[in-house]
Structure 1
């Protein structure tokens, strides 16, 4: 959908920046303006060569190229599932995943994801313990699991607790993770200067 009141070059820039979000935020901060300039030059050169007006959005082939390259970079930097689980337990990841760690901590809703993972560990551990107990005493798991686990009220309270913890501890959770994995972790000094510290409260980081 075209934005009314915008010049073609402005619509082109909006389109280019939107599809560039396929790349990690950190990559866009470093190379985003350069990428936009190249895309604009290529589009203008193609328009002049064909005698057509300058485009107001990225062509489909350029969009497909951005998606392949951007999401390919994200997948290459992302740790496998078992390392991701250990990272959520607080383990520092090897060097090849340092960029992903910085992006994850600076990403959108990190405090929500961190609080949610904590709840998963707590209630998952409780459920696993009840399952082991049921096996030991020779009973069905459903017989030892509290009935409240199956109620909307229980999960509504859990959701409210997660959101409150994520909201009121947002800055604390983000800064603690940053110091644990970046400042006091294995990330070298030159990488810390590029992957800057998390924004203060109210800045609203995005991925």
Structure 2
């Protein structure tokens, strides 16, 4: 049975540190950070899979269309905030708005190898954990949600596709970052929707996906 319940956002602020695990729940069993410890696969320039402890997590991202639907083409993109290209110099971590170094983050857009176009007209990202069974999602880091993109949200789905929980994403400010505490068991898929779905605006990124696998 679907349970469409919007819960109050719980945000953990970041502070200046270079520690890899700073700003994470110490009880998290695995953390996906889109780095050398979380290898990825791509097809036609889009990220399709990220691995955590050798188990695949399927990834997809899609542009929002003018009719409110979503394009079929996968446009999941890794953007390196430690070495942004000339077009996106302000999206850098650590920074006053995002003190924790993030490195590569998962976003939506395209790249030609030299410059990156981050999509800001509404989109969504999905991560499918079904190869693990289900997980207890502890939290994730949210980046670059401006005031104009308030109403962006996280949706958590179970193995039958039922909605377990909806959480509004915190407004981080342009190029900012913060941790969203989730603490939800039974998750098989997470979906991040950037911007209000009634509009053609919205962009952002996610990183530091913290979770524990649940016993089958």
Q: TM-score scaled to structure 1, two decimals?
A: 0.26
Q: In terms of Rg, which structure is larger? A: 1
Higher helix share: 1
